[in-house]
Amino acid sequence: NAGVTQTPKFQVLKTGQSMTLQCAQDMNHNSMYWYRQDPGMGLRLIYYSASEGTTDKGEVPNGYNVSRLNKREFSLRLESAAPSQTSVYFCASSPTGQETQYFGPGTRLLVL
């Protein structure tokens, strides 16, 4: 039981490049989330998916898109990376009816 896994662990992009961050969970959770964590800003919600087939914007969705591929997988796409998107990105999942969320190990992204 791996919990929440994220790939890649580290990535360096040039401004304007695109990339997709992958997230998968093996806990049969319905809800999944993408956060970014920046110094002094805490964890901020980018997008979430309450259940398979649904996605909704969070606090800071601009510049990102998401896909809930199936119940296990939730990807985050940067279409045209900007230096302001340099951050640590965390995926999380949660069982339906519970508030507790379980986090992955994170992806460190540097945009030059």
Binding of another protein at residue 52 (CB under 8 A)?
A: no
Q: How many beta carbons lie within 10 A of that of residue 24, not counting itself?
A: 20
Q: Which residue, 41 or 82, has its beta carbon nearer to another protein?
A: 41
Q: Which residue, 67 or 102, has its beta carbon nearer to another protein?
A: 102
Q: Which residue has the tokens 């999944």?
A: 32
C-alpha 51/C-alpha 16 separation (Å) is 31
Q: Footprint of another protein on this chain (CB under 8 A)?
A: 4, 30-31, 33, 40-43, 45, 48, 50-51, 56, 58, 90, 94, 96-106
